């Protein structure tokens, strides 16, 4: 990480002979406390699992970008993205491991004590987000259908979110139908997966604001014996060669470019 560049007045006083002002300031090394300087904000919070949590924040630090990976195709000078660096130290870990400091970077500047606490507390809640997406995929079938367009994926996501909301709302009403090897859960603290087991018992007794279903018959659909001749859209993977050119499939890999082979004859019809 780098500190902001000095002002022109400061640079002029430090360099009377002049010269080109630097774009980056001094280096901020995580492992060297001598380069940290004075903090922008310091907070101390008592937590249930981690004991005393101390957070230090330094304002307007930025990474020094290079013309690699994401900056490979960037035109013009590389931007300077200033942010806030937060160092979090806890008194203990629930697992009893070594409580090493955690370094976080926030893209905002001018952070106060409330912003610092919100950043590191949101970081500790990242496991909830990961578990939620795993529930969507493994339990609610978010990635089960093989959709061909992003619009269809967006439409399918909405029923998944609605189902997750129903499981959350039904938590105080559902029974704990746990497996023999699972531990009993506390009241009103069932996971969405365990609520889903008893949701079928609630769904039969729950009313619906919708009207009575109208009788209908299935459509004709595709004629029996016919195949789906609508080919799926193939999207480019965005592969770029070392020369900077876009990757294209070789000609001999495309359909219809290979010569036909006869029985014991070459392409001209002559026998070998």
36 contacts 24 by C-beta, under 8 angstroms: no
Whether the per-residue pLDDT at 114 is higher than 90: the answer is yes
Per-residue pLDDT reduced to its tens digit, 192-236: 999 999 898 887 788 778 888 888 888 888 888 898 888 888 777
Q: Could you state, in order of their start, the residue ranges of all structural domains in the chain?
A: 8-67+76-124, 132-203
Cα 60 from Cα 83, distance rounded (Å): 5
Closest among 81, 5, 88, 79 to 39, alpha carbons compared = 88
Cα 146 from Cα 112, distance rounded (Å): 46
Q: Which of 34-38, 143-147, 235-239, 255-259 has the lowest mean pLDDT?
A: 255-259
> Which residue has better confidence, 77 or 196?
196
Average pLDDT over the chain, rounded to whole?
A: 85
Rg of the chain over CA atoms, in angstroms? 31
Whether the per-residue pLDDT at 262 is higher than 60: the answer is no
- pTM equals 0.58
Percent of the chain with pLDDT over 90: 38
Cα 116 from Cα 111, distance rounded (Å): 6
The torsion of the CA quartet 112, 114, 117, 120, rounded to 10 degrees, works out to -70
Whether the per-residue pLDDT at 267 is higher than 70: the answer is no
Q: What is the mean pLDDT of residues 32-57?
A: 92
Q: Across 198-246, where does the E strand assignment appear?
A: none
Closest among 65, 232, 62 to 147, alpha carbons compared = 232
Percent of the chain with pLDDT over 70: 90
Per-residue pLDDT reduced to its tens digit, 12-44: 777 777 777 777 888 899 999 999 988 999 999
């Amino acid at each position: 990480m780098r500190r902001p560049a000095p002002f022109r007045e400061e640079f002029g006083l430090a360099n009377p002979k002049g010269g080109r002002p630097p774009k980056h300031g001094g280096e901020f090394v995580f492992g060297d406390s001598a380069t940290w300087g004075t903090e922008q904000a310091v907070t101390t919070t008592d937590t249930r699992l981690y004991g005393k949590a101390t957070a230090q924040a330094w304002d307007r630090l930025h990474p020094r970008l290079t013309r690699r990976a994401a900056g490979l195709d960037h035109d013009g000078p590389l931007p300077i993205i200033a942010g806030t660096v937060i160092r979090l130290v806890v008194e203990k870990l629930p697992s009893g491991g070594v409580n090493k400091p955690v370094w976080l970077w926030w893209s905002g500047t001018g952070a106060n004590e409330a912003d610092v606490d919100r950043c590191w507390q949101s970081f500790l809640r990242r496991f909830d987000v990961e578990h939620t997406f795993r529930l969507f995929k493994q339990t609610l079938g978010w990635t089960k259908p093989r959709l061909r367009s992003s619009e269809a994926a967006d439409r399918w996501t909405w029923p998944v979110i609605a189902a997750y909301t129903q499981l959350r709302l039904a938590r105080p009403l559902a029974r704990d139908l746990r497996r023999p090897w699972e531990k009993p859960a506390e009241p009103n603290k069932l996971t969405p997966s365990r609520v889903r087991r008893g949701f079928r018992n609630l769904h039969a007794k729950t009313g619906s604001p919708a009207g009575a279903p109208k009788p209908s018959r299935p459509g004709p659909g595709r004629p029996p014996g016919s195949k789906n001749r609508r080919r799926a859209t193939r999207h480019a993977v965005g592969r770029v060669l070392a020369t900077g050119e876009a990757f294209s499939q070789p000609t001999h890999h495309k359909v219809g470019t290979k010569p036909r082979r006869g029985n014991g004859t070459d392409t001209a019809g002559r026998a070998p």
